[in-house]
Amino acid sequence: MQHQETAPEQALAWVEAGKSVALATVIETWGSAPRRVGAQMVISDQGEMEGSVSGGCVEGAVVVEALEVLQEGGTRVLEYGVSDGDAFAVGLACGGNIRILVEPVGDKGMPVEMLRQLGAARAARQPVAYEVALDGAARRLMREGHEARFRMDRSGLSEDGATFVAIHNPPLRLIVVGGVHIAQHLVGMARDVGFDPVVVDPREAFGSQLRFPGTRVVNDWPDDALAEIGVDARTALVLLTHDPKLDDPALHVALRSECFYIGALGSTRTHASRVARLKEAGFPDTEIARIHGPVGLNIGAAGPSEIAVSILAQMIQRLRQG
């Protein structure tokens, strides 16, 4: 399951508990490497590890290197690949090549204060990029620049290959308006894929903790709820009530926001009348065209669970392909 990486938070917790810590980050992959660029693992001087940089094939070897880095200082670039004699020793039999940057936290690596600032930005849902020279000579946190990387959620090496840019975007969030049957399926699936779901429904019979265990439920009118939750470029909004009293106020907020996906349940006819109401409210065609209605990819979905699959697939398509 792909959940939000928590290596920076774990690293800070271990540092504050008095441990020496190294961060290992995937900086480049070829072939069928099991983890994407930017994936991280944190290693303590006591040999503890959290997170992963592969499907379990090279973690043991990386821990050994990280413990050496903690003793000797400096940064290290490791490379494992199937063409490499080391590959079978460390078990990277999945047919990929992988490069990993190992750096200590502290004087000879990423300053603790920089790690703190990174953690604060992540907690405040502020996008931030961490730039590190592969030789360890320079590091900085950047709020500006790298627009394309932020939009595509894509960490990677600079053009000259000398610097790695780690993109730390806020966690993905899904706001579902309407605690209906489809929502019950969608919320669990979206959580498995790495979204943080919130259900909004002023009708307490629908929006209840009993129907959505372990999920944040807001029993408020959608426009007030969205203002309170906050809608940003890492947010997907799905409207499942097909009741204009609930959907329209939410759409007005969404169309004025940067949310990356807006989907609305309803037939083609329902959507046509929705479009007419939005035009009357003064929204231009280009804005209205952001709404996916009828919601979901057209896969011939039958029943609430398959409709939920079609919606989640469309959300991912929009996120990854724009």
Phi, psi of 73 (to 5 degrees): 80, 180
Q: Are residues 183 and 149 in the same domain?
A: no
- What was the pLDDT predicted at 1? 31
Q: Which of 229, 273, 220, 272 has its CA nearest to residue 254?
A: 229
In a domain, residue 1? The reply is: no
Please answer whether residues 214 and 199 qualify as being in contact, where contact means their C-beta atoms are separated by less than 8 angstroms. no
Of the three residues 168, 200, 224, the one that is the final residue of a domain is 168
Q: Are residues 194 and 313 in the same domain?
A: yes
For residue 33, give both structure tokens.
């490497």
**Cα–Cα distance measured from residue 263 to residue 294, given in angstroms and rounded to the nearest whole number:** 8
CATH of the domain at 197: 3.40.50.720
As for how many domains the chain has, the answer is: 2
Q: Which of 228, 279, 283, 237 has its CA nearest to residue 260?
A: 237
Helix and strand counts by DSSP (H, E) for the chain: 11, 15
Question: For the chain, what is the radius of gyration of the CA atoms?
Answer: 22
- What was the pLDDT predicted at 244? 93
* Residues comprising the chain, all counted: 322
- What was the pLDDT predicted at 85? 52
**Cα–Cα distance measured from residue 76 to residue 98, given in angstroms and rounded to the nearest whole number:** 14
For residue 250, give both structure tokens.
């939410």
- What was the pLDDT predicted at 73? 87
Of the three residues 168, 202, 226, the one that is the final residue of a domain is 168
Q: Are residues 144 and 25 in the same domain?
A: yes
For residue 300, give both structure tokens.
């011939």
Please answer whether residues 58 and 80 qualify as being in contact, where contact means their C-beta atoms are separated by less than 8 angstroms. yes
Which domain covers residue 263, as residue numbers?
173-321
**Cα–Cα distance measured from residue 239 to residue 212, given in angstroms and rounded to the nearest whole number:** 16
| Residue-by-residue pLDDT tens, the chain, 322 positions | 334 578 999 999 999 999 999 999 999 998 777 788 999 999 999 999 999 998 777 899 999 999 999 999 899 999 988 555 554 455 555 567 899 999 999 988 999 999 999 999 998 889 999 999 999 999 999 998 898 898 788 999 999 999 999 999 988 999 999 999 999 999 999 999 989 999 999 999 999 999 999 999 999 999 999 999 999 889 999 999 989 999 999 999 999 999 999 999 999 999 999 999 999 999 999 999 999 999 999 999 999 999 999 999 999 999 888 7
- What was the pLDDT predicted at 93? 54
In a domain, residue 234? The reply is: yes
3-class SS of residue 90: helix
Q: Are residues 182 and 128 in the same domain?
A: no
Q: Is 168 exposed, middle or buried (0-12, 13-18, 19+ CB in 10 A)?
A: buried
- Find residue 23's DSSP bridge partners: 42, 103
Q: Which of 118, 108, 170, 107 has its CA nearest to residue 140?
A: 118
